[in-house]
Amino acid sequence: MGGPKKYSVEFFGVFDTVTQVIGYAESQSKFDYFSNKIEKRLQDLTKLYDIYNTYEGISNLKTINDNAGKQPVHVDKDIINMLKFSRDKYALTEGRVNIALGAVLSIWHDYREAGISDPKNAKLPPMDKLEDANKHTNINDVVIDETNDTVFLRDPEMSLDVGAIAKGYAVEIVAKEIEAEGFTSGVISVGGNVRVIGHPSDGVRKRWGIGLQDPKAEINGTQNLLDTVFVKDSSVVTSGDYQRYYIVDGKRYNHIIDPDTLMSADKFRAVSVVTADSGLADALSTCLFILDYEDGLKLVQSIPGVEACWVMKDDSIKATDGMKKIMKKLGGATGSEG
């Protein structure tokens, strides 16, 4: 039988997580060509957006942070464009997603790592320490010079942390580039940050089925799915309290920090967003995880083409009408619908 066949590959080392590429191609060699280009591009973007490591010959976000208050740093256009995108999302989310929050997030990171390494002595960061760091999180102190391709942090004590945006933004870049090269039916999943291209080329399905993880599964050690959403040319991104966390005095503290309270957000178990742009989906899933449900729903309804569902603390599910329509359990959707 002719026609494209389905292939898949997994690789590690991109954004510190597992990446899976699934897609249809006319041959294994053609699929390998696409997947190798995806992996290489994601590796390059991982280095550019890294705040922890230095790479020879590359000026990345760590380079910018290291030069805070000292001098502008000449960077690649992929950094300039990502920071501009992030600035726009700061405005859209009214500051809930702030790439200039690095001084606060680095404290939480250190305490979380220490708590994971030594659970018996896990501690919360002192609030006075967090409040002092929060004085150095003004996004207006991030100076982007597009003419000279430089970035300068005016405040010597500030730092960038693009964890809420970079992965989704990078996946969107790669998806558009590889689609332009002819990869028109596939799924790129970077640590569960999913971007689908076109629809399955199997002659049957018109949408890809993407599983949403049940937050309880992580606790129980099972692989249960909360639900399945059926999408085409879209992104599916989830923020949850089960992804990166540590436990202090029996309470779980996840990695998503509310900039208003400077504490770990704890209103939901998980929030999933479906929209065309993976960078937007990444930013919104973080924002909605922080906002109250009513405020988050208003935000979603104000942005065309965005759908979302919330897993509440009691494990019940709330979803926008459009999200319900593409969910298997909640809305009876199937992959055969256009």
For 180-229, the pLDDT digits (tens) are 999 999 999 998 799 999 999 998 999 999 999 888 876 555 568 899 99
- In whole angstroms, what separates CA 108 from the centre of its chain? 18
| pLDDT of 1 strictly over 90 | no
Confidence of residue 106 (pLDDT cuts 50, 70, 90): very high
List the strands of the sheet with 268-275, edge to edge.
5-14, 17-25, 186-190, 193-197, 235-240, 268-275, 307-312, 317-319
Confidence of residue 271 (pLDDT cuts 50, 70, 90): very high
The phi and psi torsions of 92 (rounded to 5 degrees) equal -60, -40
pTM tops 0.75, yes or no? yes
Averaged pLDDT for residues 281-301: 98
Averaged pLDDT for residues 80-106: 98
| pLDDT of 3 strictly over 70 | yes
Taking residue 93's Cβ as centre, other Cβ atoms within 10 Å add up to 20
Give dist(CA 143, CA 151) in Å, integer.
6
Confidence of residue 146 (pLDDT cuts 50, 70, 90): very high
Confidence of residue 2 (pLDDT cuts 50, 70, 90): low
Averaged pLDDT for residues 95-113: 97
Averaged pLDDT for residues 112-128: 97
DSSP class of residue 140 equals: G
Quote the radius of gyration of the chain (alpha carbons, Å). Answer: 20
Q: What is the pLDDT of residue 58?
A: 97
The phi and psi torsions of 110 (rounded to 5 degrees) equal -65, -45
Average pLDDT over the chain reads: 95
| pLDDT of 32 strictly over 80 | yes
Q: What is the pLDDT of residue 338?
A: 67
Q: What is the pLDDT of residue 35?
A: 98
Averaged pLDDT for residues 69-75: 98
Contact 195, 278 (CB under 8 A): yes
Give dist(CA 20, CA 193) in Å, integer.
10
Give dist(CA 205, CA 22) in Å, integer.
15
SS3 309: strand
Question: CA nearest 196: which of 181, 206, 183, 186?
Answer: 186
Contact 115, 246 (CB under 8 A): yes
The phi and psi torsions of 57 (rounded to 5 degrees) equal 80, 5
| pLDDT of 233 strictly over 90 | yes
SS3 254: strand
Q: What is the pLDDT of residue 269?
A: 94
Q: What is the pLDDT of residue 215?
A: 85
Q: What is the pLDDT of residue 78?
A: 98
Contact 153, 141 (CB under 8 A): yes
- The contacts of residue 334 (CB under 8 Å, 6+ apart) are 230, 328
